[in-house]
Structure 1
Amino acid sequence: MSTTEKPTVVLVHGAFADASSYARVIPGLITRGLDVVAPAVPNRSLIGDAAYVASIVRQIPGPVVLVGHSYGGAVITVAGVEDNVRALVYLAGYALQKGESLGELQGRFPDSDLAAALVQTPFPIEGSTTPGTDVSVQVDKFPAVFAADVDPQLASVLAVSQRPLAAQAFTEAAPAAAWETKPSWGLVSSSDHTINPDVERFGYERAGMTTVEVDSSHLVMLAHPEAVVDLIEKAVRATTA
């Protein structure tokens, strides 16, 4: 569906990161005349996170292009069913099908280097005597696994300022798959050590997306922001008459 109204670009970050992971992309989008929203995703559960992003999307007057990095791809898969979402853009992301979980999609393929670098930490859940489990990346392994081609000083900062993902998010099944009805674009980070690039390729091909590949680490937005801005702009142009 196309519209003459300029869309707002909503940037959804993934696990082990926050909205600052788009710090090099946002200026490029603004320079091109686009309105941008980059919310802080709770990273507590797939369904809860998608509901939160959907609530933000609903409050935006006019059309939206929804962008998701990594776990954020799973989030936009569900949140993207909102009526004003015109397109989806996946960045090194999980494109789930309806009824599928992150663990199920990941389990189809050999593990990446991330699997051996994960740390599990309990956290309190209000009103429950049973703690939840946060998942993060070992600080000393973070740069190589997550950000191999990002400035080393920045990578060291990112390593100690991670936004963990609750383990629950890995097992929840997606209740919807917005790419079934919305035009979608996907970027594969071909040197990704966080998500097996074949996981990205498989999800994108299954969804019939327009796909590009970039020789990049997982944090493609910081390593190759121009490629990311170009792809988002293509999605904007394709859905704007």
Structure 2
Amino acid sequence: MSPAPPTVVLVHGAFTDAAGWLGVIDELQRDGIAVLAVANPLRGLTCDAAYLASVVSQIDGPVILVGHSYGGALITVAGTADNVVGLVYVAAYALEEGESLSELQDRFPASPLVGSLKQWTYPADGGKIATEVSIAPEAFPSVFAADVSPSIVRVLAATQRPLATSTFTEAASAAAWRTKPCWALVAGADQAINPEVERFGAKRAGATTVELEGASHAVAVSRPTAVADLIRDAVRATSG
């Protein structure tokens, strides 16, 4: 008997939401692929990965996890679940166990994102005040979505979701790519994550890798067919 086809679970990163996957979802659903785009809490690597793992545990059958940007760190940790059969990194961080986002990024020159962040505060547990960051509106087009139409970029900038700053220093508790097959897409013109970070992580993970020249960090929005093609490769490879 052939194995059941996997469900593709899409995990967005910082400064966006699940709507960033709309074009990719349309592509996959037209091929009859089951898709779920989760809402990433963006509150911290440990708690966000635990949330993703809880979603995965409630899905019957095999799962392919697809992570964009910071979402790549989450699939790296949550991907150790028994029913996860593959990982796809889209302009994403592929962390090593015990490594943080900052430690991986600091291996390479900083991207323009670093100087383009705006700080906010929000109430945390115990009456404490925590800090989160978003991209300054005037920097958003060039940093996040340089190859997306201006009308769409304005919407993306207005609807971005901030990331808790504590996320940058939390260490990954696992590296699922050590035991799971993985694929990676490098956005060649990414100004949010240095493409060298993406290339390094993909090579270290032994990922089957494609690179899109001129693609921005918002590659799932600007080039949904190319992103969906890589996911289709993962689905075929894990479906027997």
TM-score scaled to structure 2, two decimals? 0.98
**Structure 1 runs, 4 residues or longer, greater than 6 Å off:** none
Q: Deviations over 1:91-147 (max 9, x none)?
A: 00000000000000001000111011011111111322x311011100111011000
1:137-176 CA-partner distances (Å, limit 9, x unpaired): 0011101100000111110111111111000110000000
Is 1:206 the equivalent of 2:204? yes
**Alignment RMSD (CA, Å):** 0.7
The secondary structure found in structure 2 opposite 1:100 is coil
Structure 1 residues 47-93: Cα deviation after superposition (integer angstroms, max 9, x where no partner): 10000011000000000010000000001000100100000000000
Counting only pairs closer than 5 Å after superposition, residues 161-200 of structure 1 correspond to structure 2 as 161-200=159-198
The secondary structure found in structure 1 opposite 2:73 is: helix
Q: List gaps (5 residues or longer) in structure 1.
A: none
Deviations 1:18-67 (A, max 9, x none): 00010110010000111111011100000100000110000000000100
Is 1:94 the counterpart of 2:93? The answer is yes
> Paired residue for 1:117?
116
Partner Cα distance (2:90, 2:42) in 1: 17
How far, CA to CA, are the matches of 1:123 and 1:240 in structure 2? Answer: 44
- TM normalised by structure 1 equals 0.97
Between the two proteins, what is the percent identity of the paired residues? 58
Equivalent-residue separation in structure 2 for 1:88 and 1:183 (angstroms) = 6
CA distance in 1, matches of 2:195, 2:152: 24
* Number of residue-to-residue matches in the alignment: 238
Name the structure 1 match of 2:36: 37
Displacement of 1:203 after TM fit?
0.5
Residue correspondence of structure 1 range 1-241 to structure 2 within 5 A? 4-128=3-127, 130-215=128-213, 216-241=215-240
Residue identity opposite 1:174 in structure 2: A
Return the alpha-carbon distance in structure 1 between the equivalents of residues 60 and 101 of structure 2. Answer: 31
